[in-house]
Structure 1
Amino acid sequence: MIRLRSLLLALASVCLGLVAVALYLQHVKGLLPCPLCVIQRYLFLAVAVCCAIGAWAGKPKAGAALALIGALGGLGVVGKHLWVLAHPGLSCGIDPMETALNKIPSATLLPWLFKADGLCEDARDTLLGLSIPQWSALSFVLITLSLIYLLARRQR
């Protein structure tokens, strides 16, 4: 039987890996992140931190519950991103959200990770047939389902 701690650490690793892929796409492939992309990064990192803390602090259910809140937030943000892509002409590009997002301390300290420079409607490049926001949506769905499973199963 797989332990809750192992599953939480696996989910944390997956989330960190997804952020690493986003950084690869940004810095190697030249895909600039939009404000919604950056918010998704924050949420992937929040899920990873909650899972890791829950695993290491001996409170796996509490960590999974907090991570679930982040994953549900991620579903909401990626849903908005997919909606923007489905309605051409609507952009969340240079607007007050981007300006505010780029002024928070994490974005000023780590601009290579958290600075939003792109337009949401430009996220049309595909990877294995899906756009990057679609991959993000799939990831958030799988993470959410995994966390619900962790919370629903009995601890042994």
Structure 2
Amino acid sequence: MNRTKIALITTALICLALLLVALYLQLVEKMLPCPLCVMQRYAFIGIGLSCLIALILPRAVRRIGFALGFGSALFGIGTAAYHLWVLAYPEVKCGIDPLETGLNKIILAEVLPVLLRADGLCDTPYPPIFGLSMAAWAMVWFLIFALVLGVLLFSKKKARELFGKGY
């Protein structure tokens, strides 16, 4: 198995692990997801599925999967950045807004409410995990995924150097 495929599988598995950690924090630690948290979950799902799509696509069109994953990572970066801003300025409350109502009416939120239903407030100050807020950890992972998928998408030569032959 070449390194590109290993990178895609690893990225997809990390996305799954991050979603499982989010579920643990929600169900066990009672950290309710806010609308921005749910949007970040959608981004992680998008990245993971895009990596799996890239794995099954023929090599000639594999960049489609890279592009979808890269776009999802950029969406996640934007959402996490806004979430960090809301946490830094708690007087700007996200609260119950049309975003929450709209997110909770998406068919996926109705099918998988435990994962994709927004019930919390964006400015709730949950304790940090290893010194970082949940939004900060999400930002770190979105940046890593954007870097990996961006290299695969935009630079064939660099991708070969980083991820080996067989790209």
Category of TM-score, reference length = shorter chain = over 0.9
Is contact 2:31–2:126 with CA below 8 Å preserved after alignment?
A: no
TM-score normalised by length of structure 2:
0.88
Opposite residue 148 of structure 2, the aligned amino acid is S
| Displaced runs of 4 or more, over 4 A | none
Distance 2:131 2:3 in 1: 34
Report the Cα offset of residue 3 of structure 1.
Answer: 2.5
Aligned-partner SS, 2:90: coil
- 1:57-72 alignment runs, 5 A limit: 57-58=57-58, 59-72=61-74
Taking structure 1 as the reference length, the TM-score comes to 0.94
Q: CA deviation at 1:124?
A: 3.5
Structure 1 vs Structure 2: percent identity of aligned residues? 46
- How does 1:24-103 map onto structure 2 within 5 Å? 24-58=24-58, 59-103=61-105
Give unpaired runs (5+ residues) of structure 2: none
CA contact (8 A) 1:6 1:55 kept: no
Alignment of 1:113 with 2:115, yes or no, is: yes
Query: Which position in structure 2 is the counterpart of 1:5?
Result: 5
Report the alpha carbon displacement of residue 125 of structure 1 after superposing the two structures with TM.
1.8
For residue 139 of structure 2, give the secondary structure of its aligned residue in structure 1: helix
Stretches of structure 1 that go unaligned for 5 or more consecutive residues are: none
**Aligned mates of 2:62, 2:48 — CA distance in 1:** 13
Post-superposition offset of 1:123: 4.3
SS at match of 1:130: coil
Aligned to 2:152: 150
Higher relative contact order (CA 8 A, sep 6+): 2
Q: Please say which structure displays the higher CA radius of gyration.
A: 2
The range that moved more, 71-80 or 57-66, is: 57-66
Identify the range of structure 1 (142-151 vs 93-102) with the bigger mean alpha-carbon deviation.
142-151
3-state SS of paired residue (2:48):
helix
Cα displacement string for residues 103-152 of structure 1 (whole angstroms, at most 9, x for unaligned residues)? 11111111101110000001432101111111001110111111122222
- State the Cα RMSD in Å: 1.5
Q: CA deviation at 1:9?
A: 1.1
Cα distance between partner residues in 1 of 2:56 and 2:23: 26
Using the alignment, how far apart are the partners of 1:20 and 1:124 within structure 2? 18
Of residues 83-92 and 57-66 in structure 1, the stretch that sits farther from structure 2 once superposed is: 57-66
1:84 touches 1:90 (CA, 8 Å); kept in 2? yes
Tell me which amino acid in the other structure corresponds to 1:9: I
Equivalenced residue count is 156
Q: Which amino acid aligns with 2:28?
A: V
CA contact 1:4–1:55 (8 Å) conserved in 2: no
Deviations 1:24-78 (A, max 9, x none): 1000110000000000001100110010011122343221111000000000000
Report the Cα offset of residue 13 of structure 1: 0.8
